[in-house]
Every structure is written in structure tokens, then in C-alpha cells.
Amino acid sequence: MTTSHAAEGAPTGRVIYAWRQERRADRRRMIRRHLLARGIRDPRVLAAMAWVPRERFVAPAQARRAYDDAPLPTTHGQTISQPYIVALMTAEAGLSRRSRVLEIGTGTGYHTAVLAKLADFVWTVERVPELSQDAAHHLAQLGITNVVFVVGDGAQGYAPVAPYHAIVVSAAAPAAPPRLLNQLDLWGRLVIPVGDIGLQELMVYRRTPTGFDAHSAGPCRFVPLLSPAAFDE
């Protein structure tokens, strides 16, 4: 007698379909409650957030909480940023379809996937090799091909292909690292949490013909950027 996968407890096509429909509904709810309601209006950012399946980037036990407006624990003791902050940082980066983007702190790769949906190309730097590898694997599974994964100290930026239209840093620094500012194109933007360990302001620096202008997009809380150029280990 042959046993089917369904009989052995593996999910059937119908169960997988129903699960995906539920997560799609979760994403629509996330967009209404956590993004639109808090002022994220950019239709391209909302479309990218509606596309990326966040549940694939969290630990399996957390999949049903994947769309809560909270940072969640992932493997390797890391956290995935909350959806509102990912959307806010992405909107502040001011991306177009032609943008070349540098991301610092790949983490799970969730934010990388959102950036890759909006921009021409993304270079993403992570200091923990295992995280970089897992993120690369997740993005390949989603069919995302416009990302290069780099392992190293992101506070140094990534000089070989600079300058960038936007640099998005997902870890906190005591001040904007000069190397990152230097790798911005004219009118390019650096989005970075600046402050103390535990509480920061989400700062946006823009390169102008005469220097930089800056504004704060609000308070935030990120893990530290571990580097001699930021928070030393």
C-alpha cells in the first residue's frame, strides 16, 4: 500500500493555500492598522510591505504573530524590526525604481526584501556570517535577485560600489559614521538611528551641494551597531 504525504501529516496543497490566504489577510490588516493609521502613505512602500511574506523571516513558532506591530525574536538571538519602523525607514529613504541602496544590518533579510522590491539594486552588509547566509537563502526562495550580501563591519559602508542614493542602517550609532555620509550621492539620504544604547532618534541626513541637512523622523529603539566606529563591543 502506498501512503500519501497527506496521510503522514504533511500539509496538503489546500492547507498551504488556506495558510497563505490567512497571511495575506494579516498583511492587509497590518497595512491598515499599523502603517496607514500611523501616517505611512507612500503607495510604493505600502505595496512592497503587502508583498513580502514576513512570516517566512520569523521563527516558525512566531509565524502567527509575524504581523503584530512588534519587533520579534528570530534565530541567532536577533530581532526582526517592527513593520511600522521598516515602512517608516523605507519611506524616509525616498527610493525610486532606479535607486542604488546600501543597507547596514541585514539581520533576517526582511527589510532587505522590502528595499529590493522598490529599488534597482541593494547591497546589504551584516557582521554575523550565519545571518547573512540565512537571509540570502530566504531572498533566493522569494525569487529576489537584485541583492548582494556582504559580511563585514557596516559602519565602514561598502566602498567598492559607492556612491548610493540611499543608505539604511538598522542598528543604532552614537552619531552618523562619516564613512557612510561620504558614500552618499548628491541628494542621497542616510537613514540611521542615532542616540544612546536603549533609545535613539531616527535621523535622516541628505547630501546637498554644500554639505548635509538633517531631520528626525521620531524616536526609535534599535540594537547597537557594533563597531569601533560606533558602539565598541
81 catalytically annotated: yes
Q: Quick check: 87 binds ligand SAH (CB under 6 A)?
A: no
Catalytic site residue from 4, 81, 99, 227: 81
Positions 116 through 145 that interact with ligand SAH (CB under 6 A): 125-128, 131
Q: Which of 146, 151, 186 is nearest to 165 (CA)?
A: 186
In the bound state with ligand SAH, the residue whose beta carbon lies nearer, of 184 and 225, is 225
Could you give the string, one character per residue 100-119, with x where binding to ligand SAH holds by CB under 6 A and - elsewhere? ----xx-xx-xx--------
Residue 200 contacts ligand SAH per CB under 6 A: no
Q: Is residue 202 involved in binding ligand SAH (CB under 6 A)?
A: no
Nearer to ligand SAH, 11 or 228 (CB): 228
56 near ligand SAH, judged by CB under 6 A: no
Q: Which is nearer to ligand SAH, 10 or 161 (by Cβ)?
A: 161
Which residues carry out catalysis?
A: 81
